[in-house]
Amino acid sequence: MILEALNYAATWPLTSAGHRPFIRSSVNLWARVNRCRAAWAEHERQTKAAILRATQGCRQRRTAVVLGSGLLRDVPVIELSRLFDTVVLVDLVHLASVRGWIMAKGLKNLRLIERDLSGLDAMLAGQTAEPLSFLRQVPYLDFVASANLLSQIGIGASRRISGMERQAVTDDLLPGLVKAHLDGMAQVAAQTVLVTDVSYTILDRSGAEHGTEDLMHGVDLGTPATFWDWPVIPFGEESRDYQIVHRVVAR
């Protein structure tokens, strides 16, 4: 708890006022990663490999953007730093621990941007959501990776709208956010890769299923280039008898 408190306190002055409410969830994720390090290792390796494979399609390697850079554990940031002139990391919050790691590694061509990538505010206002439109202004953009972000957009939006009046939220809101992200990626004039968990299953120790959830809210992502399972909540994290395993795809 002491380390979490220190990370929170150090991140507070480095974060814009509008994004400070999200520091707590980032710190909680940081703590969970440390607890689940072994269970998450293969997922992190697979994500990094998918991103690096996608860079092979770049004709030039000037600027790379990583959407949902998070804790950088699933992003091959050192390799990207060597491959590209500039690497832009975009997320709601960049923890002090992440900033310190970047400084310690001497990665001088990384740029950190705080940004809400969901498009939720626009959709709630009845506007067309274009959360990735800012990519059109990124000079010399050659590569964009969406790294385990898309499902989190829906999860975060669900939490925000849970207390709203029912008439204020349309049934197509969550699918619309997923589609807005996919459309934004498709419109980028650069090489792209999308890595996201698309569903999860609750399993007991015998392997029996006790519920599933579609994290894409009915939106079809098409045939992925590759996929794997990620034990986001392994046995012992929240229950001795159950684990929650997410299906992850890369395309």
Q: Confidence band (pLDDT; 50, 70, 90) for 168?
A: low
What is the number of structural domains in the chain?
Answer: 1
In a domain, 233, yes or no: no
Tell me whether residue 241 is in a domain: no
pLDDT of residue 161: 86
Average pLDDT over residues 157-166: 78
Q: Domain range holding 55? A: 2-195
Residue 226 lies in a domain: no
CA–CA separation, 251 and 247 (whole Å): 13
The predicted pLDDT at position 166 comes to: 55
**Section 163-183 average pLDDT:** 83
pLDDT surpasses 70 at 167: no
Residue 7 lies in a domain: yes
Bigger pLDDT: 159 or 247?
247
Residue 202 is assigned to a structural domain of this protein:
no
Q: Give the pLDDT confidence of 112-141 residue by residue, as tens digits.
A: 999 999 999 999 998 999 999 999 999 999
Q: Where are the alpha helices (DSSP H) in 2-88?
A: 2-11, 23-35, 37-55, 77-83
Q: Is 140 domain-assigned?
A: yes
* pLDDT mean over 79-91: 98
Q: CATH number, domain at 106?
A: 3.40.50.150
Q: What is the mean pLDDT of the chain?
A: 95
Q: What is the pLDDT of residue 1?
A: 83
Tell me if 214 is assigned to some domain. no
Q: CA distances (Å), 215 to each of 67, 140, 196, 230, in order?
A: 18, 33, 9, 14
Residue 90 lies inside a defined structural domain of this protein? yes
